[in-house]
Amino acid sequence: LCKLYTAKQVVWCASEGLEFFGGQGYIEATGIPEILRDSQVLPIWEGTTNVLCLDVLRAMRVDKGRGALVLLSRAAEAAVRAAGVGREGLQGPAAAVIEAAEETKGRISGLLGSLGGDDEDAGLSWLKPIAFSLAKIFACGLLIDRARLPSNPNHLDTAVAQAYCSGVSNAPGSVELGHVDHSVAKRIVEGLVEGLVEADSVPRAKF
C-alpha cells in the first residue's frame, strides 16, 4: 500500500511543484522538470499501480479482508482518541476519517461478496478506490494521532492534519486543494517558513 499510494502522490506533487513555479518551473536549469520526469518511473517499477491493486485483492482474499479492516479500525481509533482530546481543529479531520473508514469497510464487504458472482466485474471496479482509500485513511490516522499528543503542541501538525484529511472521503486521489481552507493553508506555510528561519536555512531560488 505504501508504494502504491506514495508513488502516485510523488508524480502529482512534482507536477504541482512545477506549475507552482510557473515558467521558471518549466526551465531545465531549475531541475524541476527532471524531478517530474524521474518521478514517472515510481508507479511503474516494482509493480505498476494495477498490479499492486491486484496484490491487495489477493491479500484480502486470503484473510477475507481482516487485515484491511484492522488497518481501518486503527485509523478510526486514532481519530476517536483525537476527538476526545478536545484540541481545536482536530474534530473535523477526526470525523472525516471515521466516516471514510466506515464507508471503505462497506466497500470491502461489497467487493469480497461480489467475487465469483455475476457482479464480480462491478465489484472489481472498486478495487483501485479501495486500495487508495486504505492507504490514505491510515496516513490520516497517523497524522491526527501525532497532532493530538500532549507532548506535541505544534499547531503546524494540526494544520497539516486538517489539510490532508479534508479530502479523505474523496479517496482515491490527492487532496483537492480547493477543499483546504485558506486560513489552514496559510498557517501551514507560515509554520514552515518559521521553522526554516529558526534553522537559518531559508532556501533561495537560483535561476
39 with 80, same domain: the answer is: no
124 with 163, same domain: the answer is: yes
28 with 77, same domain: the answer is: no
109 with 16, same domain: the answer is: no
4 with 102, same domain: the answer is: no
| Cα Dmax for the chain | 62
pLDDT at residue 187, rounded to an integer: 56
pLDDT at residue 186, rounded to an integer: 54
**Is the four-CA dihedral 12, 17, 22, 23 of positive or negative sign?**
negative
pLDDT at residue 112, rounded to an integer: 87
39 with 71, same domain: the answer is: no
37 with 71, same domain: the answer is: no
Dihedral in degrees, nearest 10, Cα atoms 50, 56, 61, 66: -150
- One digit per residue, the tens of pLDDT, for the chain of length 207 reads 889 998 998 998 899 889 988 888 888 988 889 999 999 999 998 888 889 999 999 999 899 989 999 999 999 998 888 888 777 778 888 888 999 999 999 989 888 888 877 777 777 788 888 999 999 999 999 988 888 887 666 678 888 888 888 766 554 433 343 344 545 555 555 555 554 444 444 444 343
191 is a domain residue: yes
| Nearest C-alpha neighbor of 148 from the set 160, 136, 137, 138 | 160
Range of the domain at 172: 64-198
20 with 81, same domain: the answer is: no
Under a CB-based contact definition with an 8 Å cutoff, are residues 97 and 139 in contact? no
27 is a domain residue: yes
16 is a domain residue: yes
pLDDT at residue 20, rounded to an integer: 86
pLDDT at residue 194, rounded to an integer: 54
Q: What cell does 184 get? A: 489552514
Q: What cell does 165 get? A: 484529511
| Nearest C-alpha neighbor of 147 from the set 163, 132, 134, 133 | 163
From CA 41, how far away is CA 187, in angstroms rounded?
A: 33
Under a CB-based contact definition with an 8 Å cutoff, are residues 85 and 148 in contact? yes
| Residues in the chain, total | 207
Helices 32-39 and 2-20: crossing angle, nearest 10°? 150
**Total tally of structural domains belonging to the chain:** 2
pLDDT at residue 172, rounded to an integer: 41
pLDDT at residue 72, rounded to an integer: 92
137 with 182, same domain: the answer is: yes
From CA 101, how far away is CA 133, in angstroms rounded?
A: 8
User: What number of other Cβ atoms are within 10 A of residue 91's Cβ?
Assistant: 15
